[in-house]
A and B are shown apart, each in its own frame.
Chain A
């Protein structure tokens, strides 16, 4: 059951001109949050922008073990995210959550491979924690255009996650898209060693990862983001063409309540609109 919290901004940590991590005091949400779930944040007190914005829960903030809030990983793109990049500690933001279907973390001996592109890093800290708690070996494949756009890798290293980086300009890690080292790793792994992929990033990247997973016979979940009106299943804005869990013809399926986490094989990728 989601709650709406008038959350005080604890800290706005600016990572660069375009990225920031916003920590919000919301113990009720933090206590209920599961990996991969999201919150709907009102970016202004007034009517512009009118609607809330969906954000994956980036971190569950704790104080001496007790959940005190959540953070969001924000990339400045439009009006709402620009407001969130500027907000100062002490401000209050209406925050509704936790929402959506969470990730299902795998247990050992299976491994969990997280594949993030750019701001798609957002849902993976919570998943990495859940995998670590189960003793599941985890790897993060994380790609961006250049080295300066790879953030918060230390959070994953602290959880014992193996990190594989890729940059399009070759300034750090493998040169090229993140699918390059991912494909190599999938090819190297014997089929008897189970692994599940968890993917979040631009639509073409998720589509490519879904194809790689299928080609190598690996399970693959994706975290989808679409323009969302309400986050609760009321407005039918955030639909993607998806087959049912048991197969069948694809239907427009709400990412807010049937997702945001989907089995990648359910998605009709050639019909998904979204960020390039």
Chain B
């Protein structure tokens, strides 16, 4: 049974990746998960320097989901390399570093520094965080901006480059295409949906940052649709995410067009989710006689559905 896949020069043993922002720096989970069994660990977004993030409250629950506005609190790329990467290396994790910048130069500098560090396997470009004012999403919401940041990072690294796309645009697929044209090895999608929750008694927003990003099962069908749209316009691998909670959800994203998936919010609910997802995927492969999991990618049969509708 082959669950592996490739992103550029990198081979992942299986398609289950811990989503950035939902798994700390990976080491926090080393007691509950054997990190080497994951398809990859996408660590918390890193800027060049440390950031304090927003004042709490930083999360609020909503139906089948949650809003967050953490504000990319982080230890910066240098402390990450010194203080976290050695343990990730020791635990044989496939490390995907999510990188951030307020300027194009900062993305390039962070990418350059990480490319020289031992134990970093890929770079995910965070051009989609809805919770910071400067940089980031301003690249992710503009096609020339996306193209510029992906090409600039592409030029300074041999590591696989994976821009993480925002769903807060009219047509995500055009951003996937811009990324592919700029030399991305894959795209990951979706980041969170910009959202808001208000306490009606105080009439105050529930988050200090006023708005935040919606994640969890509430967004899954929208994310699946966006992966499907991107699959139709790009050839590079897609890493799909958005509320994945079960093995069926993993398979749904893959059939829609994802080569790999990330799990975020549901890891908070169940940190032991990984084995359950993996065994569920294996059972599915056995039941359907699938030897190579990548064979199901993008196999959604829309034609059959259209015919059924016409004949009814």
Contact = CB atoms under 8 A, between A and B. Distances in A.
Interface in A77-125: 94, 96
Nearest to B44: A236
B56 interface: yes
Interface in B108-157: none
Interface in A40-69: 42, 47-52
A234 B65 contact: no
A273 interface: yes
A130 to B, nearest CB: 23
Interface stretch (B66-74, B89-97, B164-172): B66-74
A235 B22 contact: yes
Contact of B271 (A48, A49, A230): A230
Nearest to B75: A251
A199 interface: no
Of the four ranges (under 10, 10 to 19, 20 to 34, 35 or more), the interface on chain A belongs to 20 to 34
A94 B59 contact: no
Given A4-B272, A47-B64, A232 B58 contact: no
Interface centre among A50, A238, A271, by most chain B C-beta atoms within 10 angstroms, is A50
A42 B59 contact: no
B27 to A, nearest CB: 9
A94 B31 contact: no
Interface centre among A4, A48, A52, A234, by most chain B C-beta atoms within 10 angstroms, is A234
Contacts of B53: 236, 239, 252
B52 A234 contact: no
Contact of B267 (A227, A234, A237): A234
Contacts of B217: 47, 50
A273 B57 contact: yes
A211 interface: no
Contacts of A176: none
Nearest to A227: B57
B269 A51 contact: yes
B24 A234 contact: yes
A233 B24 contact: yes
B271 A237 contact: no
Contacts of B73: 236, 239, 252
A237 B58 contact: yes
B95 to A, nearest CB: 16
A234 B31 contact: no
A237 B22 contact: no
B32 interface: yes
Contacts of A237: 56-59, 68, 70
B216 interface: yes
Nearest to A239: B56
Contact of B28 (A1, A42, A49, A234): A234
B270 interface: yes
B268 A51 contact: yes
A230 B61 CA distance: 13
A239 B268 CA distance: 16
A47 to B, nearest CB: 4
Nearest to A229: B268
B23 interface: yes
B59 A226 contact: no
B270 A234 contact: no
A234 B32 contact: no
Nearest to A1: B31
Interface in B21-80: 21-24, 28-29, 31-32, 44, 52-53, 55-61, 63-66, 68, 70, 73
Nearest to A230: B268
B192 interface: no
B268 A234 contact: yes
Nearest to B59: A237
11 contacts: A1-B31, A4-B271, A47-B63, A51-B61, A227-B56, A229-B59, A230-B271, A234-B22, A235-B21, A236-B73, A252-B53
Given A4-B271, A235-B268, 13 more contacts: A2-B31, A42-B269, A50-B61, A226-B56, A227-B58, A232-B24, A232-B29, A232-B32, A234-B24, A235-B21, A235-B59, A252-B52, A273-B56
- Top 9 A-B residue pairs of the complex, sorted by shortest distance between their CB atoms: A233-B28, A230-B268, A47-B64, A237-B59, A234-B24, A1-B31, A237-B58, A229-B268, A236-B70
